[in-house]
Structure 1
Amino acid sequence: MPTPVVLVAGLHATARTATVEQLLAEHPGSLAIHHDLRQVTHGRVRRSVRDRTDVLDTAEVRLAHGCATCTVREDLLPQLVRHAAGASLLIIDLWDSIEPRPVAEALARTEQLRLTCVHTALDAEHVPLDICRGDRLAGTGQAATAGDQRHLAEVLARQIEYATSLSLHGGDAEDTELSAAVLGHLAPHTPIVTIPDITGPMLDVHELAQRVDPATAQLPADRQTGEVTTVVWHRLRPLHPGRLFDAMDELVTTTVRSRGRFWLANRHERMLAWDAVAGVASVDDAGPWLAALPEAAWDLTSPIRRAAALDWNPIIGDRVQHLVFTGPGIDRDRICGLLDSCFIGRDDSLPGAAAWAGYVDPFSPVLNLEENA
């Protein structure tokens, strides 16, 4: 029978270590594997294997392809398989800035292992501050590679939103209350637990991906918890690319976390993904809308994606504007009004009209990467 595996992620090393120690104590015969990336900028990665009482093995691992995530994945899987037969539970103690998704998806392809939990451990004192920080990981000493350009808050958001459970450590009662409120907005469907539950069935990584991928993401609902607010903007009309681009700076800098899916009048066939945290925003092409596909191709999409047809509009199909903004003291009317002002008007060309080709598209540099290469 495959050995159960729990993946423990988190930027806060003390919180992550506390969770790993709890799991080792709770499950006799369990082992924890950790890759230390403190010297990764010098090409060195240190792997350790331990049980509840001692470090059983350490080794220096060569950096694969200059990529820390690749190194962890390529060295981790053989180590897990090697120890699987003799362990009751295998615990993956991920380095601070390693994101859990690629590791989880690699585990799913290994028959001897059964991933039962993806857990993110957090420091209650730091969560509300760190989710607002625009610092690059290189500046905090948590970079995963020498050229790591990611921001601390974006990694923290992905660790929180991908996890199947969360835990809070440290801080006082007020810190815990505020952090729990923040997590309730960022990941409302994810339980906050004392210790990860590793007794469940093997996780389906395709379902985990659908929880966070733009086309199928379980986006938060309108909510107010103390000083934390989540605003949902849900519309159907097409957006003008220039007007939306001009509004982005205010939308991103006056909120902490925002994400969702939307469509532009000049790109009516493509679903666009919005992702912003701590003032850092990205817009990506998330593929075609169902309405832009021949019906025969629908069978190639996931059932949860096809469920969008339940809200099918006879004119625009499954196209939708669905953006969610979270932060303290958000002016709901201002956010919604600003976005409403970005719709195309009566004097603008209809979606998909050839006339749009004559307009400057400010999103072109990031959305037409293949054309620009």
Structure 2
Amino acid sequence: MRIALVTGLHAAARRQAVNDLLAAVPRSISVHHNMEDISDGAVHREVRDCSGPLESEQVHLDHACASCTLREDLIPFLLSTADAGRHDLCVVESWDGVEPRLIAENIAAQDGLRLATVAAAVDLAHLTADLGSNDDLSDRGLDIAQDDSRTVAEVLNRQLEYPNVIVLHGSGADRHARALLGQLNPAAVIVRSSSDLQGFLDGRFEPESAHARTNPAWAHYTDHAEDQGVRTVTWTRTRPMHPERLAEALEEIVAMSLRGRGRFWLASQPDTLLVWDSHQDLLMVENGGPWMAALPDAAMDLVSRTRRSSALLDWDPVVGDRRQHLAFTGVGMDTGALLTLLESCLVTEAEAGQEFHNDPFAEFSEK
């Protein structure tokens, strides 16, 4: 049975995309896990077809959370529906604050299911404001766990960057939205709501490829010329950054763009690849493991093929794959000021080789 996953923070846009698929494909149904009452321990499974609701019931889970819902109810429901053989397509409509990657990977791993497409539905009236929002999901009642501290901008970016199709809904600045979405996710086809989506159901969505192009530890980013005020600039250097100067500049760097992503190299941690993931004013830094150049030859085979391929593309005869590779996307962004600030964080020739005893990023070092 074919599966189409429809994701998105904007419920009305998401529901319209589901309706379009149900209307276009005979013998199709949709399933949606409503998590509106998840804080009270309740998750409701809602199933419908193009004529209306078929069933709605509370599902019993070990824990009321998104991962338990996926593992304990959605996947078993899809497998049993496929076994019954009455439907050619099931459209999985995700909840507002759920990111698509985990759902897509779990569906694609099932032998009886074919994940045909992952689509993100967007309301044009709210797109730019939500990407620039400082709201937490909890501020809008969209959190899906007690300790869910994710922001609206963070979740929306992940929903937009992963799919192979983005569906635009409602009235708004269509050309501006296409420019912004095209730079956040160059791999996606952008269509209007009520378009014929059947053509996206013939193939197979590959989560491995989507993960490879969205993982900042090895993804490769390119510049995009300004279009409708939107621009993406990519900064690549084979010199490390000074940890204290970078720490002092972080707040200003992050504030200059809507979205920042990539990997960076600190002089104080020469063997550690650090991941940069920023959404509006929120910056997350993670330890991405060792640079390939820091590994002994015997360990190379333990690294994923995607990571090895990325490292070879980056390889420098002196520093290996160590580098700064950061991409920033913004509207009306002062790219000159941003690049100047980033350059000021690089270690100078006089500082090369010195020890850095004060490292604000020490918590991310290899243990």
TM-score band, normalised by shorter chain: over 0.9
| Structure 2 residue 78 is matched with structure 1 residue 75 | no
Aligned residues: 360
What are the equivalent positions in structure 2 for 1:29-68 lying under 5 Å apart?
29-68=27-66
Contact 1:186 1:220 in 2 (8 A): no
| Alignment partner of 2:282 out of 280, 285, 288 | 280
| Structure 2 residue 320 is matched with structure 1 residue 322 | no
- After superposition, the CA RMSD in angstroms is 1.8
SS of 2:268's equivalent in the other structure is helix
Equivalent residue number for residue 298 of structure 2: 296
156-165 or 193-202, which deviates more = 193-202
Q: CA deviation at 1:310?
A: 3.7
What is the rounded CA distance, in whole Å, between the counterparts of 1:362 and 1:70 in structure 2? 37
After superposition, the Cα gap between the structure-2 partners of 1:152 and 1:311, relative to the gap in structure 1 and judged at 3 Å, is closer
After superposition, the Cα gap between the structure-2 partners of 1:145 and 1:291, relative to the gap in structure 1 and judged at 3 Å, is same
What is the rounded CA distance, in whole Å, between the counterparts of 2:229 and 2:294 in structure 1? 41
After superposition, the Cα gap between the structure-2 partners of 1:142 and 1:22, relative to the gap in structure 1 and judged at 3 Å, is same
192-201 or 141-150, which deviates more = 192-201
Contact 2:213 2:219 in 1 (8 A): yes
1:72 partner amino acid: L
Equivalent residue number for residue 91 of structure 1: 91
| Structure 2 residue 6 is matched with structure 1 residue 4 | no
What are the equivalent positions in structure 2 for 1:234-253 lying under 5 Å apart?
234-253=236-255
Equivalent residue number for residue 107 of structure 1: 107
SS of 1:267's equivalent in the other structure is coil
What is the rounded CA distance, in whole Å, between the counterparts of 2:62 and 2:282 in structure 1? 29
What is the rounded CA distance, in whole Å, between the counterparts of 2:6 and 2:62 in structure 1? 22
* Same amino acid, percent of matched pairs: 40
What are the equivalent positions in structure 2 for 1:1-373 lying under 5 Å apart?
3-84=1-82, 85-172=85-172, 175-193=173-191, 194-196=195-197, 197-307=199-309, 308-350=311-353, 355-356=355-356, 359-365=357-363, 367-368=364-365
What is the rounded CA distance, in whole Å, between the counterparts of 2:87 and 2:262 in structure 1? 41
Q: Structure 1 length normalisation: TM-score?
A: 0.92
Contact 1:6 1:117 in 2 (8 A): yes
301-310 or 146-155, which deviates more = 301-310
Deviation digits for residues 80-130 of structure 1, max 9, x if unmatched?
111112211011000111111011111122111011111101011111111
What is the rounded CA distance, in whole Å, between the counterparts of 1:217 and 1:270 in structure 2? 17
What is the rounded CA distance, in whole Å, between the counterparts of 2:61 and 2:104 in structure 1? 20
Contact 1:185 1:220 in 2 (8 A): no
After superposition, the Cα gap between the structure-2 partners of 1:200 and 1:287, relative to the gap in structure 1 and judged at 3 Å, is farther
Contact 1:161 1:187 in 2 (8 A): yes
Q: CA deviation at 1:347?
A: 3.8
1:265 partner amino acid: A
Contact 1:230 1:327 in 2 (8 A): yes
157-166 or 181-190, which deviates more = 181-190
Q: Structure 2 length normalisation: TM-score?
A: 0.93
1:180 partner amino acid: R
What is the rounded CA distance, in whole Å, between the counterparts of 2:196 and 2:19 in structure 1? 10
Q: CA deviation at 1:169?
A: 0.5
Deviation digits for residues 17-46 of structure 1, max 9, x if unmatched?
000000001001011000111111111111
Q: Which runs of 5+ in 1 are unaligned?
A: none
